[in-house]
Structure 1
Amino acid sequence: MTTPTTLGTGEASTRLHELTVLDVRTPGEYAGGHLPGALNVPLDQIQRALPDIRQAAERGDVLVVCASGARSENACRILADNGIATATLAGGTGAWAADGHDLHRPEGAARSTWGMERQVRFTAGTLVLLGLILGLLVHPAFQLLSAGIAAGLVFSALTNTCGMAALLAKLPHNRPRAADLDNTLAKLRSR
């Protein structure tokens, strides 16, 4: 198994022209802004893209990015388990933008696209509030919904995983159309 390296935003910026950059966020997040030249291969599609990523890694270095670094670390582990050497961007696109680097957006992309973290916070907050309100107005058992969400958030923090994000990633606005992913994989093969 290969160990992924971590690149800071400065080093990634100077080497961007020589890197194959894979953005493992959802298509909606990718449309909200990504590193120049990054290709969108959502985390849940990494297995499908393995042959093309392996070819890209044989031609040069692969940098995996996400919003903060957690999903890209997961992707790097999957790739490492398959013998593919990769690097991850320290702090993700958040750190990239905070350090003054430009994020590119596809033509016509909405600028108000919610990132996965924001989607999770909204959904969790809504479900907790719903559980509390229904627990007060309908039946106390509805408060178990709030307790379940709280337990899920604690588990998420302890394991650095997020089941709710995995579920939300399956919503239509967070999923690539098959043609989009096929197009991305064709671009990856041609690099």
Structure 2
Amino acid sequence: MSLPLISPQKAHALVAEGAKLIDIRDVDEYAREHIAVAQCVPLNTLPAGLNAGPGETVIFHCQSGARTSGNADRLALAASPAQAYVVEGGIQGWKQAGLPTVEDTSQPLPLMRQVQITAGLLILLGVVLGYAVSSGFFLLSGFVGAGLVFAGVTGFCGMARLLNMMPWNRRTS
């Protein structure tokens, strides 16, 4: 089952009429930037029902629309029996439409972006040092690449766990 896509402008109008706007991104993504009226209900904690009745409207969004589209069945079940929609383009589409968001740059970057930045820097460092200093530094790039494959296969990312413990990732209120 797929949920109908609606434009950010239409979603904004429905929210003004009382529709529930649900942000399914992780808490750290929400803390960094969100739509002011959106309620954060991360996808992995989404309950079977959002306490929405048959006459109500529930609108889901994520960062770009990929998570909401990929989980449409689960979202439709969570919103049932209410009418449910997905914001086209997610929060990125919302911003491109000129609609406001609340941004808190004192919050850390989302953890997966931190992993991507760190892994990319370590791989680049291994290649540069491998050419400039010693070919043994190429092992650094190989080690990071193997770690990313392991994380993809098992769902366990040691780099994410390590970065999550860093002081800059302590939540501020």
- Relative to the length of structure 2, the TM-score reads 0.67
Instruction: Give, in whole Å, the separation in 2 of the partners of 1:6 and 1:79.
Output: 13
Secondary structure of the 1:62 match is strand
Larger RCO: Structure 1 or Structure 2 (Cα < 8 Å, ≥ 6 residues apart)? 1
Instruction: Give, in whole Å, the separation in 2 of the partners of 1:98 and 1:117.
Output: 23
Shift in alpha-carbon separation, 1:119–1:66, aligned structure 2, 3 A: farther
Does the Cα contact within 8 Å between 2:2 and 2:69 map onto a contact in 1?
no
Counterpart of 2:69?
A: 73
Of 74-83 and 25-34, the range deviating more from structure 2: 74-83
Counterpart of 1:7?
A: 6
- Relative to the length of structure 1, the TM-score reads 0.61
Shift in alpha-carbon separation, 1:82–1:91, aligned structure 2, 3 A: closer
CA positional deviation for 1:56: 1.9
Unaligned runs of 5+ in 1: 156-162, 177-191
Counterpart of 2:87?
A: 89
- Cα deviations by residue, 1:93-138 (Å, 9 ceiling, x for unpaired): 1121122111135xxx545642466334313313423554686464
Shift in alpha-carbon separation, 1:116–1:57, aligned structure 2, 3 A: farther
CA positional deviation for 1:32: 2.3
**Count, aligned residues:** 159
Q: Which has the higher strand share?
A: 2
Secondary structure of the 2:15 match is helix
* Bigger-Rg structure (1/2): 2
Unaligned runs of 5+ in 2: none
Counterpart of 1:160?
A: none
Secondary structure of the 1:4 match is coil
Of 23-32 and 75-84, the range deviating more from structure 2: 75-84
1:48-127 correspondence runs (5 A): 49-51=47-49, 53=50, 55-56=51-52, 58-80=54-76, 84=80, 86-104=84-102, 109-111=104-106, 113-115=108-110, 118-127=113-122
Does the Cα contact within 8 Å between 1:24 and 1:64 map onto a contact in 2?
yes
Instruction: Give, in whole Å, the separation in 2 of the partners of 1:38 and 1:91.
Output: 15
